[in-house]
Amino acid sequence: MLFSFTEKDTSLSDYLHHQKNVVRKKSILKVCGCFILVGCLVFSVTGCSLITKLGHTDSNSKDKQLEDIMESNECGYNATFTLDADGTLTVSGSGKIYNADEHLIGWAFHKDEIRKIIIESGITSVGDGAFGDCNAEEIVLADTVTHIGDFAFNNCTQLRNADIPQSVKYIGVECFMNCEQLETVSIQGNIERIPKGAFKNCLKLKSVKIPDSVKSIGPDAFFSCYELSQLNVPPKLEKIEESAFYYCTSLETFDLPDTVFELEDMVFNSCKSLKRINIPSKVRYLGTSAFIGCLALESVRLEEGLTSIGNGAFSGCTAVREITVPSSVTTIADGAFGKWTAEQTIIVKGKNSAPSEWNSDWNSKAKVVWN
């Protein structure tokens, strides 16, 4: 893509200077007239005009055009970027990179050409959606970055690895969602939460290193990470939210620490390779469909303190030979042990029969031993 100017046109630097003044007023572009034509964009401002001709070529190579076009353009109040011929996008300066939904950032027109993103020392924050849909295979984050915004690297379908430095204290919702080629993630930052959809639909994600500081894993955080098999469970983890590991079909083990007190609905739904799980004593309610379809699940331990087992919680877990329901359980919902067979045994502590609070269809065909 080539930007060209007539003799009557204001220079690119003048235009960018004007644009900077405009965005400081929280507006992407304020124009007297805007004309969008096939093959060209016309921005008309009082006293100056910028004509962008798309698809125009001259004697220079495409690589040379990229060098000329993408040089020292603004991407933050105190940040600039360059995009060189080999597709390396380098951001330098200080402070925050703009949010993509508030500012028109120059690389938005060149996302297909980006192969590597380098965020240099001095940059502290990556704006919301800043690099969404880029073709980058690699990102390098300086240890001055403390904040990665919502959707920051969303849909970067060629990204292979993500190494988040220790300086990072916050990562935003869906920040790496749909990074289909992403294989390894190392989070070294002092964060307390893996947010909603952070790695959702990262279909080839195999290994994730989570820092010990994490206390909660948000809804859909690892939804449909089919190949995820290596994941360390942080020792201070307290809460796993809805569908956090839904369809993590390669996950075999997940050792919940004693600090966990909440497991929401569908947390391990359809984790077909999961073999064992121990539910800590602080958990009072086991969510709806929490382990439904965990076909390989062989060992389940429920601790005293659990009071309620949700609808379909262990439905279809036909590899479990025996499970003990603690005496503290007061309610069991419909189908909690659905699709269990006569070869399976449920031992119920402290009761001679099912209490009235238990749904009449709590168990399908499993043998029940009242103890």
Residue 81 domain flag: no
Give residue 19's pLDDT band: very low, low, confident or very high (50, 70, 90). Answer: very low
Asked whether residue 370 is domain-assigned, the answer is: yes
Q: Is residue 187 part of a domain?
A: no
Per the prediction, the chain carries an average pLDDT of 85
- Show the domain range for 322: 252-371
Q: What's the confidence (pLDDT) of residue 189? A: 83
pLDDT of 49 over the 90 cut: no
pLDDT of 171 above 50: yes
3-state secondary structure of 15: helix
Mean pLDDT of 71-75: 75
Domain final position from 27, 42, 58: 58
The torsion angles phi and psi of 365, rounded to 5 degrees, stand at: -130, 0
Average pLDDT over residues 163-168: 97
User: To the nearest 10°, the Cα dihedral for 162, 165, 166, 167?
Assistant: -130
**Interval 212-256: pLDDT, tens:** 999 999 999 999 999 999 999 999 999 999 999 999 999 999 999
Whether 131 is in a domain gets the answer no
- The structure tokens listed for 216 are 């909660």
- Reply yes or no on whether the pLDDT at 11 is more than 70: no
Reported as a pLDDT band with limits 50, 70 and 90, residue 72 is low
The last residue of a domain, from among 38, 58, 78: 58
Read off the pLDDT of residues 267-314 as tens digits, 9 standing for 90 and up. 999 999 999 999 999 999 999 999 999 999 999 999 999 999 999 999
DSSP state of 99: P
- The number of domains in the chain is 2
Q: Determine the longest span between alpha carbons in the chain, in angstroms.
A: 93
CATH number at residue 298: 3.80.10.10
37 falls within a domain = yes
C-beta separation of 187 from 165 below 8 A? no
pLDDT (mean) for 115-122:
98
> Has residue 57 got a pLDDT over 90?
no
Report DSSP letters for 183-197, one per residue: -EEEE-S--SEE-TT
Q: At 270, which amino acid appears?
A: S
> Has residue 67 been placed in a domain?
no
CB 32 within 8 A of CB 82: no
**Dist. CA 162–CA 173, nearest whole Å:** 16
Element (H, E) at 324: strand 322-325
d(CA 154, CA 175): 5
> What pLDDT, on the 0 to 100 scale, is given for residue 337?
98
Domain-ending residue, one of 36, 58, 80: 58
Tokens found for residue 246: 């839904």
Residue 109 lies in a domain: no
Look at residue 217 and tell me if it is in a domain: no
